[in-house]
Amino acid sequence: MQSTAAPSMLRYLWIYTVVSGVLAVLFGVLIFIRPGAAIIVTAIFFGAYLLVTGIAQVVLAFSVRSSFGGRALLFISGAAALVLAVLCFINLSNSVDLLAIWIGIGFIFRGVATAMSAFSDKSLPGRIWEIIVGILSVIAGIILFVAPLEGLVALTQVTGIILVVIGVVEVIAGIRIRRESSFGPTARVRDTVT
C-alpha cells in the first residue's frame, strides 16, 4: 500500500517560500533606499575576502610542489591581495574604489570576450545580441572606472529592484503552493470529512 501523504518538509514549503520572498523584498527595499550602506558592507566583505585569499595564496606558495615560477606567481598574487586588503581596512573608500575597479575589470573582460566571440563566429545564434551585450558590458566597466561610487550605487539599486521583484514572485509562488497543494486548508477539511 502506497501512501499519498506529502513528505513532512514539503508541507511547510509554502511557508519557507513566503518568508524567503518577504525577506528578499525587505532586503531589496533597504538596498534601494540605502545603497551607500549596502556598498560599505559589501566593501568590508571584499576586504575580508582579499585578506583570506591573500593568506591562502602565500601559504600555498610555500607548500605546493610546483615550479619556482608557479610558486613565485602564487606568492606575488597573495602578497598583492594582502596589500590591497590592508588598504581596504585602512580607508573604507579605498575598499569601495577597489571593489568598483574589480567589478569594472570583470565587465570589461566579459564584454570583450563576448563581443569578440560573436564577431568571429558568424554562425552564432543571436550574434547581434551577443555583440550588443559585449559592448554594453565594456561600457559598464568603463563607467565603473570613471565614476566608481556612482557606478556602484547604480549597480546596487538595480540589485535592490531585482530582489524586490524576486521576493514578490516568491510570495506569490508560496501562496500558490499552499492553495494548490494537497495539504492546504481545504485538504484539512477534506481529511476530517473522510
Model confidence pLDDT, tens digit, residues 167-185: 999 899 888 888 877 655 5
Which cell numbers in the block locate residue 173? 509562488
Is residue 187 a part of any domain in this protein?
A: no
Is residue 78 a part of any domain in this protein?
A: yes
Is residue 6 a part of any domain in this protein?
A: no
Give the end-to-end CA distance of the chain in Å, rounded to a whole number.
18
How far, in Å, CA of 69 to CA of 82, rounded?
20
Which cell numbers in the block locate residue 44? 568590508
**DSSP designation for 128:** H
Note the pLDDT of residue 40. Answer: 83
Is residue 186 a part of any domain in this protein?
A: no
CA torsion 95-54-105-144 (nearest 10°) is 0
Is residue 7 a part of any domain in this protein?
A: no
Which cell numbers in the block locate residue 139? 561600457
Count how many Cα atoms sit within 13 Å of the Cα of residue 181 in the half-sphere of its side chain. Answer: 21
Instruction: Say if residues 50 and 82 touch (Cβ distance below 8 Å).
Output: yes
- Whole domain around residue 131: which residue ranges? 13-176
Q: Kindly give the confidence (pLDDT) of every residue in the chain, 194 residues in length, as a single tens digit, with 9 standing for 90 and above.
A: 555 544 555 667 788 888 888 988 998 888 888 888 888 888 888 888 888 888 988 888 887 777 888 888 888 888 988 888 888 888 877 788 888 888 888 888 888 888 888 888 788 777 788 889 889 989 988 988 888 888 888 888 888 898 899 999 989 988 888 887 765 555 555 555 55
Please, what is the average pLDDT of the chain? 81
Number of domains in the chain: 1
Is residue 5 a part of any domain in this protein?
A: no
